[in-house]
């Protein structure tokens, strides 16, 4: 699906090296000689151009995404197509991805909270604009030169989904390991679906495991839709019950049983960590990288187990 495009030129950018290749795109290091700038160029499958309306949808979506200007969201420099191949130009993130970091095992709770807090704010900001990510996962969480987390690939799954419906019925858009039950069922989505996906990311970051495994993709989607995820403490006994309950609430099957927004999830996770004394104190010898973990909110979000909500 992806021929090697190294040394070819897309717009003002020469592709100098292949950085990675996935099911939906290939990413190259690009160089813009006119201003001596190095960027990332994401090249999308040419097969989608077989859908006559794909390019117009792609351009419309890119214009919307270019207006998402907030720390925590990877900005869009340019977009276009060359000989029927669509591409997107973005800043090159020097800190790698969360996926890379998780290959070394679970992360400390304070580090997970440091990462999740700005991502939750970024997702809520996008949701207020009517934009949903649809593919939150560790490989779409990058780190800049200051080690701050950045979300990439906003809305691309939606554009692919529309085009793929005219190409093949067997193509799964999104990543089943992180897919909400409603997304797996093909239902209409809102911001609570992104909250679920971020909840899976947190689950994996804290335990080293995703909630569900199956021999095939459809099996994973089925489990997300029908099975309760195992307690995080099954994999990591150092986690408190409060942290377990906060994450499992974000993973509720019914979107109405999740937090009202993604920031609410991040705040509940921080509150749970504070109550279980999992935050570092100022006089400790080692501190997590980056910003100090958020302090508990004055308006603590109540955490209840799914199915045990207080009766009105």
Segment holding 143, helix H or strand E: strand 141-143
List the beta bridge partners of residue 28. 18, 41
Question: Which residue among the candidates 4, 51, 71, 135 is catalytic per the annotation?
Answer: 135
Distance of alpha carbon 37 from alpha carbon 17, whole angstroms: 14
Give phi and psi for 236, each to the nearest 5: -140, 100
| Residue 135 is among the residues annotated as catalytic for this protein | yes
> How distant, in Å, are the alpha carbons of 88, 174, 305 from that of 68?
15, 21, 34
CB neighbours of residue 5 within 10 Å? 17
Give the pair of three-digit tokens for residue 271: 């509150």
Sign of the Cα torsion 237, 240, 245, 248 reads negative
Give the pair of three-digit tokens for residue 98: 């969360």
Distance of alpha carbon 6 from alpha carbon 60, whole angstroms: 28
Q: 3-state SS string over 250-286? A: HCCCCHHHCCCCHHHHHHHHHHHHHHCCCCCCCCCCC
Helical H runs in 19-149? 54-65, 98-102, 109-128
Give the pair of three-digit tokens for residue 22: 């996935």
| Residue 291 per-residue DSSP state | S
Residue 299: partners with Cβ closer than 8 Å, 6 or more residues away: none
Distance of alpha carbon 59 from alpha carbon 62, whole angstroms: 5
First to last CA, the chain: 55
Active site residues: 135
């Amino acid at each position: 699906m992806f021929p090697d495009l190294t040394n070819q030129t897309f717009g003002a950018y020469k592709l100098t090296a292949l950085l990675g290749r996935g099911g939906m795109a290939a990413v190259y290091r690009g160089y813009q000689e006119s201003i001596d700038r190095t960027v990332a160029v994401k090249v999308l499958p040419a097969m989608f151009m077989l859908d006559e309306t794909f390019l117009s949808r792609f351009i419309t979506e890119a214009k919307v995404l270019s207006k998402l200007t907030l720390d925590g969201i990877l900005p869009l420099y340019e977009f276009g197509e060359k000989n029927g191949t669509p591409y997107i130009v973005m800043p090159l993130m020097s800190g790698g991805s969360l996926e890379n970091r998780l290959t070394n095992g679970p992360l400390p709770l304070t580090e997970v909270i440091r990462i999740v807090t700005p991502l939750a704010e970024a997702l809520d900001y996008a949701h207020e604009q009517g934009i949903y990510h649809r593919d939150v996962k560790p490989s779409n969480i990058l780190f800049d030169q200051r080690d701050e987390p950045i979300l990439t690939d906003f809305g691309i799954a939606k554009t692919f989904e529309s085009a793929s419906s005219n190409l093949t019925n067997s193509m799964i858009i999104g990543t089943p390991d992180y897919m909400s039950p409603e997304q797996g069922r093909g239902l209409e989505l809102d911001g609570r679906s992104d909250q679920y996906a971020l909840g899976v990311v947190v689950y994996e970051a804290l335990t080293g495991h995703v909630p569900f495994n199956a021999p095939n993709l459809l099996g994973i989607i089925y489990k997300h839709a029908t099975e309760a995820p195992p307690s995080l403490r099954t994999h990591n006994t150092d986690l408190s019950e409060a942290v377990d309950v906060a994450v499992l609430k974000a993973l509720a099957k019914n979107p109405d049983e999740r937090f009202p927004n993604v920031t609410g999830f991040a705040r509940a996770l921080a509150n749970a960590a504070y109550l279980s004394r999992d935050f570092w104190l100022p006089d400790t010898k080692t501190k997590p990288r980056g910003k100090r973990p958020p302090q508990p909110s004055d308006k603590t979000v109540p955490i209840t187990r799914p199915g045990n909500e207080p009766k009105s």
